[in-house]
Structure 1
Amino acid sequence: MSGGEFAGQQRRAAVFGVPIRLLGPLAIGLLALGYGALWLLARPPGEPLLRHVGQLFGGESILFMSIALVLISTLPHVEQVFGGIDYAAIWHRRLAIAGTVLLLPHVELASNPEATSLGKTLAVPAAIGLSAMIVWAILPRWRTMLPGALHGLVLRTRNSWPVLLVARVLGGYERWRGFHRLTGLFVAAGFLHGLLDATAFESTPVLRWSYVVIGGVGLAFYAYREVLARHFLPHHDYQVQEVRTVAPGLVDVLLFPLGKPLAFRPGQFAMIYLETKDGWQRHPFSISGAPDGEHLRITVKALGDHTAKLPDVVQPGMPAVVSGPYGRFDRRMGTDRQVWIAGGVGITPFLSWLRSLDDELAETVDFFVTSAGRSPFADEIQKTAKDHPRLTVHLIDTSTDGRLTPDQVLGAVDADPRELSVFMGGPDPMLRQFRRALRASGVRAANIHREYFHWR
């Protein structure tokens, strides 16, 4: 495929006016409604309504959990439907939460006086395991999950000994990732519980077999990810060439290929396995270099877990394994008039874009870079802007200029909001605020793109 053809495909960011990234969620909604209608229409004669509704909630829970397992299968087609693996991961979390919440009315309403002992036994680890997994997953995102009025209470109790003890037991990213890999086993326990104890299945084969198909598909994708995916996804051997501190808490890591290098598009990210002094570490990182460089360049901010001590545990000569690439954060999906907004480490994919500009920039771009203090990449960005007249750079030092606001961006950009494409990367609260303001000003939803690096 030629570059022009690929760019043409990328610009088709909507189908019948619906953004690509919303097609998957729309399909999920229709499937959930259809499955619920099937349960109601196929209610067996004599089946108590409340018990049937309770079992319907259990069936919908397995549906959501099965789809969630499909979404983290790392298959390229899933990424295409959702407009990027980051969006797929977000919907994975949403569906897992929704599926776990549905267990509450299921437990309250569903009943079977002749339930099997095995079925009842399987229900316990399924419910406890899924609930624990959800709570553990949302703890780092408590600010976005709880109302602002409760933030002060959480902050006051965060340093109490019970909270510190729980945090020590839970550990960091690696421990959570290991526990998260058990998701499919908890879903399998819940699936078998329903298959053994659902009274509706005895006289209604359509409900039984639709349930079997739904649960079977989810568990098949789980088995693929855990057992087979490593044999199909390409992995590339690298070696750490340099670890360079760019600014306090910000590190560039240069990886030199030992064989065939990773082929990627500017703006994508990769899964990086690094051997450190503490053992092998795995984490997704945005690629900040150009595809045609002799090495793979990632820029890492100390946000927690092992990233905070990366300069101390990673040294030149250590091996690395890279898989991917992932993500569809691509400026070629946008219109001819674009706005780029980068906050903090959210600048990483934009650096890859800028470092990949060999020819004239085809779009007219206003690039807003906000950071506490002068951006460590300011000189490089301004030099690139001198070579590309259609690129206008706005550097905002929040320590002296205050926080960047949507009104400042819209006031500085002389263009019809309906013709704008906006690409954003940065802290989640900031990007949520900008999205609301941009939509209110007339920017089309299909033209607002952001990198959800916080899901990683």
Structure 2
Amino acid sequence: MKKKPGILLILFSMIITWALWVFIKPTREISTLSEYSQLIASFALVAFALINFISTRNKILDVLFDGLDKSYIYHKYLSISALVLVIIHNITIELGKGIERSQGIPIPRDPYAMYGAFSMYLFIILVLIAIIAKKLNYERWKAIHKFMIIPYAMGIYHYYGSATYAVFSFKPFNIWLNIVNIMGISSVIYSIFLYEKISFKYKYKVSSLNIVADGTLEITGSALKKDIDYKPGQFAFIKTLQNDNKFVSHPFTISEAPKKGELQFTIKGLGDHTKELFDTLKVGDKFEVSGPHGKFNYKSGRKRQVWIAGGIGVTPFRSFSQAEIPKDFLVDFFYAFNNEEESAYSEELEGLQRDNLRVHLFNSKEKGFLSVSEIEKYIDTKDTIDIYFCGPAPMRESLRKQFANSHLNIGELHYEHFQFK
């Protein structure tokens, strides 16, 4: 299992927050529960800062989390954790004030408290909307996430107005939280207002458009200036905002091995936005690219491997297959598709077979769904194998269960975590 420094970064950030809080004293008398409640709020601020940093799509995230796609798993759970911490803080701070009243401790009027409450309720509303919207449309989900800056700004304002600590003093705890907040604020400003303008450094012109399968478009671009440097299996964000085409940034796997001055994406029309691209994009149009990202790299795994592609999930494996595969690797590549009309690059892949790459095409209409029992026919059960998968999540989970009950000796299952449409 690969080590992910990002996990250590999250744990270290929380530990250092607690360790520095131990030595800080409030500026007025408050209950012990109120003190702990503010520690909980500090944890929430750290979590939100990390969430916002992940949203910048900085390339260091590939290193920290073993791929940008995996960083969004931590983004999701940090978001849930931060919201839970905010709710706990809201409850415990009120309980703490109740204790203070019962002990006769004076409680000054706090005009900033309402911003904390507004922040919490707005976060809850936006999170619920985002969960629903993501199931409907990626672009709406992404747009809703931009509104998160409002409750976040309210929360920061509430912290600096309501905290019973000298927030601008030079005590280590206060300096630490100020650094955390600066990182969070600068990250959210960059991701919402600057990312689309700054990050898309690579410009291409569409040189050819080909329908390679039913509902599947291959876009080939020629570099206008600097060419993107990527490895087979990586993905990038593309966008084009000219003429009638308003396709804003969306991640896609780069579908061919590196070729100087050329870049290719193969896109399945799964959502409304990608389907619209099919109707608007023309040869000669320009598109911009940000990236590359991703650590989906078979060379980091065991020498004996099984690759499994489902539908449009063939793209990273096509890129792998076009490039030179080290001679000490042995790969069985299973490509499953619904029917002949939806099989992209099947003939090309057959032509890419070699001694250490055996391609198995699996037409589900003729043979049924790809199963592990079918895969077992080609694998020596004595070998420890790594599985590389790209395709629909239900297919992956079905095969995962089958592998667990099979006679195969499985090392690791590798897959990308993006499921955007």
TM value normalised by structure 2: 0.84
Structure 1 counterpart SS, 2:284: coil
Q: 2:387 aligns with which of 417, 422, 430?
A: 422
Question: Once the 2 structures are TM-superposed, how far is the Cα of residue 75 of structure 1 from its aligned partner?
Answer: 2.3
Is 1:249 the counterpart of 2:209 in the alignment? no
Return the alpha-carbon distance in structure 2 between the equivalents of residues 439 and 35 of structure 1: 41
Distance in 1 (CA, whole Å) between partners of 2:243 and 2:315 is 23
Change (3 A) 1:29 1:443: farther
Q: What is the letter of the counterpart of residue 188 of structure 1? A: A
Alignment map for 1:159-170 (pairs within 5 Å): none
Match of 1:393 among 353, 359, 379: 359
Quote the residue 1:298 is aligned against. Answer: 265
Q: Shift of residue 416 of structure 1?
A: 4.2
CA distance in structure 2 between the aligned counterparts of 1:77 and 1:196, rounded to whole angstroms: 33
Distance 1:141 1:224 in 2: 22
- Decide whether aligned partners of structure 1 residues 133 and 406 sit closer, same or farther in structure 2, where only a CA change above 3 A counts: farther
| 1:289–1:352 Cα contact (<8 Å) kept | yes
Q: Residue by residue, what CA displacement relative to the aligned partner does 1:311-331 show, whole Å, maximum 9, x if unpaired?
A: 212122222112221112112
Q: Does 1:133 align with 2:126?
A: yes
Unaligned 5+ segments in structure 2 are 98-106
CA distance in 1, matches of 2:129, 2:204: 33
CA contact (8 A) 1:262 1:325 kept: yes
Q: What do residues 55-88 of structure 1 show as CA deviations (whole Å, max 9, x unaligned)?
A: 3332221111111111222322222121111111
**3-state SS of paired residue (1:454):** coil
Per the alignment, residue 283 of structure 2 pairs with 316
Which one is further off, 63-72 or 243-252? 243-252
Q: How does 1:30-69 map to 2 (within 5 A)?
A: 30-36=12-18, 39=21, 47-69=30-52
Alignment of 1:75 onto 2:75: no
Deviations 1:401-432 (A, max 9, x none): 33223454355421546x42221111123334
Q: Distance in 2 between matches of 1:218 and 1:76?
A: 17
Q: Is the 8 A contact 1:115 1:197 kept in 2?
A: no
Verify: 1:450 aligned to 2:415, yes or no: yes
Match of 1:382 among 343, 347, 350: 350
Structure 2 CA distance, aligned partners of 1:429 and 1:47? 52
* 1:120 maps to amino acid: A
CA distance 1:141–1:47, shift in 2 (3 Å): same
Instruction: Answer yes or no: is the 8 Å Cα contact 1:361–1:391 preserved in 2.
Output: no
Unmatched tracts of structure 1, length 5 or more: 1-17, 143-166
After the TM superposition, which residues 15-414 of structure 1 pair with which residues of structure 2 at under 5 Å, given as runs?
19-20=2-3, 22-36=4-18, 39=21, 47-111=30-94, 113-114=107-108, 116-117=110-111, 119-139=112-132, 172-199=137-164, 205-226=171-192, 233=199, 235-274=201-240, 275=242, 277-292=244-259, 295-357=262-324, 361-374=327-340, 375-385=343-353, 388-410=354-376, 412-414=378-380
Describe the superposition over 1:190-213 as per-residue Cα deviations: whole angstroms up to 9, x where unpaired: 122122213356899554443223
Contact 1:195 1:208 (C-alpha < 8 Å) held by counterparts: no
Query: Displacement of 1:351 after TM fit?
Result: 1.2
Seen in structure 2, the aligned counterparts of structure 1 residues 279 and 41 have a Cα distance that, compared at 3 Å, is same
Shift in Å at residue 340 of structure 1?
A: 0.9
- The 3-state SS of whatever aligns with 1:290 is coil
C-alpha contact (below 8 Å) 1:269/1:286 kept by paired residues: yes
User: Contact conserved, 2:371 with 2:402, CA < 8 A, in 1?
Assistant: no
Q: Give 1 or 2 for the bigger CA radius of gyration.
A: 2
CA 1:378–1:429: 2 relative to 1, 3 Å:
same
Work out the CA distance in 2 between the residues paired with 1:336 and 1:53: 51
Identity of aligned residues (%): 27
Q: Give the AA of the match of 2:10.
A: I
Q: Could you tell me whether the CA contact under 8 Å between 2:245 and 2:281 is conserved in 1? A: no
Structure 2 CA distance for partners of 1:276 and 1:413, relative to 1, 3 Å: farther
Change (3 A) 1:114 1:329: same
Give, in whole Å, the separation in 1 of the partners of 2:50 and 2:404: 29
SS for the counterpart of 1:376 is coil
Whether contact under 8 Å (1:65, 1:218) holds in the other structure is: yes
In structure 2, the CA distance between the partners of 1:410 and 1:314, relative to structure 1 (3 Å rule), is: same
Structure 1 counterpart of 2:298, one-letter code: R
In structure 2, what residue type is equivalent to 1:368? F
Aligned-pair distance for 1:294? 5.1
For residues 393 and 131 of structure 2, the distance between their equivalents in structure 1, rounded to whole angstroms, comes to 14
| Matched residues, number | 403
Query: Equivalent residue of 2:419, what SS?
Result: helix
Residue identity opposite 1:380 in structure 2: E
CA contact 1:47–1:200 (8 Å) conserved in 2: no
Give the letter for the 2:271 counterpart: G
Tell me how far apart the structure 1 counterparts of residues 165 and 376 of structure 2 sit (CA, whole Å): 57
- Secondary structure of 2:209's counterpart equals strand
Displacement after TM superposition at 1:36 (Å): 4.3
Distance 1:361 1:134, change over 3 A: farther
Residues 134 and 140, structure 2, Cα contact 8 Å, conserved in 1: no
Q: Compute the RMSD of aligned alpha carbons.
A: 3.1
Deviation sequence 1:360-395 (CA, Å, 0-9, x none)? 65410011111211323221111111xx11112222
CA contact (8 A) 1:42 1:207 kept: yes
Q: State the partner residue of 2:104.
A: none
Residues 223-275 of structure 1: CA deviation (Å, up to 9, x unaligned): 34455656764612212223222222211112222223222211111111123
